[in-house]
Chain A
Amino acid sequence: MAYEGDELLENVTSKEYEFGFTTNIESDKAPAGLNEDIIRLISSKKNEPQWLLDWRLEAFEIFQKMTEPEWAHVKYEKPNLQAISFYAAPKQKKVLNSLDEMDPELRKTMEKLGISIEEQKRLSGVAVDFVMDSVSVATSFKEKLGELGIIFCSISDAVQEYPELIKKYLGTVIPRTDNYYAALNSAVFTDGSFCYIPKGVRCPMELSTYFRINEAGTGQFERTLLIADEESYVSYLEGCTAPQRDENQLHAAVVELVAMRDAEIKYSTVQNWYPGDKDGKGGIFNFVTKRGMCEGANSKISWTQVETGSAITWKYPSCVLKGDNSVGEFYSVAVTNHFQQADTGTKMIHIGKNTKSTIISKGISSGHSQNSYRGLVQIGKNASNARNFSQCDSLLMTDTSGAHTFPYIEVNNSTAKVEHEATTSKIGEDQIFYCLQRGLDQEQAVSMIVNGYAKDVLNKLPMEFAVEAQKLLAISLEGSVG
């Protein structure tokens, strides 16, 4: 009997591990629930200075006075925050011995995306030979970035090593009072990236390359802070085309960008979190606040996003165009299938003179999904000669999906020019039949039509990801027409 008991115990524990729960060291996982003690625990685990703890606690105070907003065009059961554990030791990935142990569905998708075997191994957690090239590549990247004075590290490390930069910029673009989930993130963030590009430096590589090799763990409440000093340039890519699964249902990240005089930041996102199954069960809630501050004159921030994952996406990467002649851009493709819901768009806040913004949003809805564009273009009273051009297109793949556009325009300066164009179309059976008649199959036809439709946005992605993103669109919509 005793033996059976042991066996049972072993079964249970190994099963839990399979799903990624930490079972080994009890003290490295905080009990479920959200309160001041938990925040103190997070701060002390991370050995944070007093000011940051105070900052978190103030955020928590602000958070407690807020209620979860309900204006978005999405329906979901509100997450129970008291059931979430807000601190856990970095998750250990299950190590596989070879690709054969990988989930065959996942592997098939990766192959379709054209992800190399080496990278497939890395993404799926197959044990990698230590002598492998990528390690030395990462090291040489690190050296190269270091020589230029570029700082790229986890935000926790930055708190220890560059506290003055963190103190100066954290929460300046997205204040703790900004919204419910930004306040929550400010109180409990545990993970994320920090990047600083010094004056006059052009970052010589897509930070994505580095990112993919190092694979910074994405936490549930991720915090990213990116500062481009005067006359600098950086292109940053987050996310991954490969499907991402996570046992945390709620993801509420905050991303803050600051561009000083004559600086340029290009921020690209490919988001492919688990969207739930065909019947709409499960899937990740992605409630993100992303904002860039064009602080100095002639600065530029571009957001490019390809959103195919998550059960619910709720995000508006925005630009505050404070510096004169500054430029904000937002290019987005959002695909929803099955029962996914997306409410996404941007805010362009024109404050400085001669500021310019461009918005190109392409929504694609399939299955029973709902896809909304929500955007604000605000021209302040001092923003003379400000310009905006917005184009919001929606493509419906099925009769059961929905496309919605909620554009808000506020103009307080009579010299401003604001243009808004919107179209909604249904994928033409005529278009598909035309392709079939030329010898292409259904999948190729849909892929071609959809990629043509999203071309203006895909062209903005760094080259290496544009190809994968094209395939990702096709895969996300597989079998959605017909």
Chain B
Amino acid sequence: MLKIENLHARIEEKEILKGLSLTIGEGEVHAIMGPNGSGKSTLASVLAGREDYEVTEGTVTFNGKDLLDMPAEERAREGLFLAFQYPVEIPGVSNMNFLKAAVGEIRKHRGLEALTAKEFLQLVKEKSQLVELDGQLANRAVNEGFSGGEKKRNEIFQMAMLNPSMCVLDETDSGLDIDALRIVSEGVNAMRDGKRSFVIITHYQRLLDHIVPDFVHVLYKGKIVKSGTKELALELEEKGYDWLKEMEEAK
């Protein structure tokens, strides 16, 4: 589904990703962990098509298409969704209008008919329950005045609305209390259907207690230095990253 090969990317003059390779199959959940500054969020931004980052080498194929060749909106329409670490506020734009426009564009791109107002509302109702999002929030301006937890739940709600095939969650667990973490995780788990794939970027193992990954990768200095299964996350939790760093420096 998503194939990243030898990806190099930099922001301004600083190279952050230095030859990252990763293959994600249909329905798989991959967790990406790693110390601060290892390039986790850069990877999310590069996949989503943020222009501040320049890809200098490597390829990314998404469902057989060249992902790097597409502008950001086309990546989204093709089914790549990024749940932001810091969702922005858009004052004066209601969540509903925002989603209506987004769902409209995405359906159009996929050759689906536009939803009627009734169908759309039905979908909103159904998907907002997934993350226990108050109906009121749907009518408020996008993320405006939302608490940290509400913003993250709103990201998952949007993800459910847009029905992507590839979900990238960038530190969705940061700033969440235990209840919110559970709600968000349950929302994500409900969307695991054996077809949809996930890349879950996180610092902490605790999220992976709730969303159990098929694979865990450690990113360090812009490369994946170790891959394993969920046990690797537990090992990292216990031992920290230092042993991996030392191993890597010794090479």
**Residue from A434, A436, A439, A452 within 8 A of B92 (CB atoms):** A452
**Taking each of A428, A438, A453, which has the highest tally of chain B beta carbons within 10 Å of its own beta carbon?**
A438
Closest-by-CB residue of B relative to A430 is B88
Contact assessment for A434 and B93 in the assembled complex, using a CB-CB cutoff below 8 Å:
no
Contact assessment for A452 and B71 in the assembled complex, using a CB-CB cutoff below 8 Å:
no
Contact assessment for A452 and B77 in the assembled complex, using a CB-CB cutoff below 8 Å:
no
Contact assessment for A434 and B158 in the assembled complex, using a CB-CB cutoff below 8 Å:
no
**Residue from B51, B93, B106 within 8 A of A439 (CB atoms):** B106
Hey, which chain B residues are within 8 Å of A456, CB to CB?
92
CB distance from A451 to the nearest CB of B (A): 7
**Residue from B52, B87, B93, B102 within 8 A of A452 (CB atoms):** B93
Q: Name the segment of A32-40, A278-286, A312-320, A440-448 touching the other chain.
A: A440-448
Contacts A433-B72, A449-B93, A452-B93 given; does A438 touch B88 at CB 8 Å: no
State in angstroms the CA–CA spacing of A442 and B99 once bound together: 16
**Residue from A440, A448, A452, A455 within 8 A of B73 (CB atoms):** A440
CB distance from B123 to the nearest CB of A (A): 15
Q: Annotate B72-83 by CB proximity to A: 1 below 8 A, 0 otherwise.
A: 110111000110
Contact assessment for B141 and A452 in the assembled complex, using a CB-CB cutoff below 8 Å:
yes
Contact assessment for A455 and B92 in the assembled complex, using a CB-CB cutoff below 8 Å:
yes
CB distance from A458 to the nearest CB of B (A): 9
**Taking each of B50, B92, B93, B141, which has the highest tally of chain A beta carbons within 10 Å of its own beta carbon?**
B92
- Let me know if B48 is at the binding interface, CB within 8 A: yes
Main secondary structure of the interface of A (DSSP, over half): helix
Contact assessment for B76 and A437 in the assembled complex, using a CB-CB cutoff below 8 Å:
yes
Contact assessment for A433 and B50 in the assembled complex, using a CB-CB cutoff below 8 Å:
yes
Hey, which chain A residues are within 8 Å of B88, CB to CB?
428, 430-431, 434
State in angstroms the CA–CA spacing of A437 and B73 once bound together: 6
State in angstroms the CA–CA spacing of A449 and B102 once bound together: 14
Hey, which chain A residues are within 8 Å of B37, CB to CB?
none
CB distance from A256 to the nearest CB of B (A): 33
State in angstroms the CA–CA spacing of A453 and B141 once bound together: 11
Contact assessment for B98 and A438 in the assembled complex, using a CB-CB cutoff below 8 Å:
yes
Interface residues of A in 340-375 (CB under 8 A from B): none
Contacts A439-B77, A439-B102 given; does A448 touch B72 at CB 8 Å: no
- Let me know if B109 is at the binding interface, CB within 8 A: yes
Contacts A433-B50, A448-B98 given; does A439 touch B162 at CB 8 Å: yes
**Taking each of A429, A434, A453, A455, which has the highest tally of chain B beta carbons within 10 Å of its own beta carbon?**
A434
- Let me know if A454 is at the binding interface, CB within 8 A: yes
Contacts A452-B90, A454-B92 given; does A439 touch B98 at CB 8 Å: no
Hey, which chain B residues are within 8 Å of A438, CB to CB?
76, 98-99, 102, 158, 162
Hey, which chain A residues are within 8 Å of B84, CB to CB?
434, 437
CB distance from B210 to the nearest CB of A (A): 24
State in angstroms the CA–CA spacing of A434 and B105 once bound together: 15
- Let me know if B247 is at the binding interface, CB within 8 A: no
Contact assessment for B105 and A439 in the assembled complex, using a CB-CB cutoff below 8 Å:
yes
- Let me know if B101 is at the binding interface, CB within 8 A: yes
- Count, A-B residue pairs, CB within 8 A: 72
Hey, which chain B residues are within 8 Å of A442, CB to CB?
73
- Let me know if B49 is at the binding interface, CB within 8 A: yes
Contact assessment for B90 and A439 in the assembled complex, using a CB-CB cutoff below 8 Å:
no
- Let me know if B145 is at the binding interface, CB within 8 A: no
Closest-by-CB residue of A relative to B103 is A439
Contact assessment for A440 and B105 in the assembled complex, using a CB-CB cutoff below 8 Å:
yes
CB distance from B12 to the nearest CB of A (A): 15
Hey, which chain A residues are within 8 Å of B162, CB to CB?
438-439
Hey, which chain A residues are within 8 Å of B50, CB to CB?
433
Hey, which chain A residues are within 8 Å of B141, CB to CB?
452
CB distance from B9 to the nearest CB of A (A): 16
State in angstroms the CA–CA spacing of A416 and B107 once bound together: 55
Contact assessment for B101 and A440 in the assembled complex, using a CB-CB cutoff below 8 Å:
yes
Contacts A436-B73, A439-B76, A441-B73 given; does A452 touch B91 at CB 8 Å: yes
Closest-by-CB residue of B relative to A425 is B91
Contact assessment for B71 and A436 in the assembled complex, using a CB-CB cutoff below 8 Å:
yes
State in angstroms the CA–CA spacing of A435 and B49 once bound together: 12
Hey, which chain B residues are within 8 Å of A431, CB to CB?
88, 90
Closest-by-CB residue of A relative to B97 is A448
Q: Annotate B95-120 by CB proximity to A: 1 below 8 A, 0 otherwise.
A: 00111011001100100000000000
Hey, which chain A residues are within 8 Å of B48, CB to CB?
433, 437
Contact assessment for B90 and A436 in the assembled complex, using a CB-CB cutoff below 8 Å:
no
CB distance from A423 to the nearest CB of B (A): 10
CB distance from B32 to the nearest CB of A (A): 18
Hey, which chain A residues are within 8 Å of B52, CB to CB?
429
Q: Annotate A406-437 by CB proximity to B: 1 below 8 A, 0 otherwise.
A: 00000000000000000000001111011111
State in angstroms the CA–CA spacing of A430 and B98 once bound together: 15
Hey, which chain A residues are within 8 Å of B71, CB to CB?
436
**Residue from B76, B106, B158 within 8 A of A436 (CB atoms):** B76
Hey, which chain A residues are within 8 Å of B49, CB to CB?
436-437
State in angstroms the CA–CA spacing of A430 and B86 once bound together: 10
State in angstroms the CA–CA spacing of A444 and B91 once bound together: 15
CB distance from B191 to the nearest CB of A (A): 17
Hey, which chain B residues are within 8 Å of A453, CB to CB?
91-92
8 pairs, A vs B, C-beta closer than 8 Å = A434-B88, A437-B49, A437-B72, A437-B81, A437-B84, A439-B77, A448-B101, A452-B93
Question: Which A residues are closer than 8 A to B by beta carbons?
Answer: 428-431, 433-442, 444, 448-449, 451-456
| 3 nearest A-B residue pairs (beta carbon) | A452-B92, A452-B93, A455-B92
Known: A440-B73, A440-B105. 14 other contacts (CB 8 A): A433-B72, A435-B90, A437-B76, A437-B82, A438-B99, A438-B158, A439-B76, A439-B109, A439-B162, A448-B90, A449-B90, A452-B93, A454-B92, A456-B92
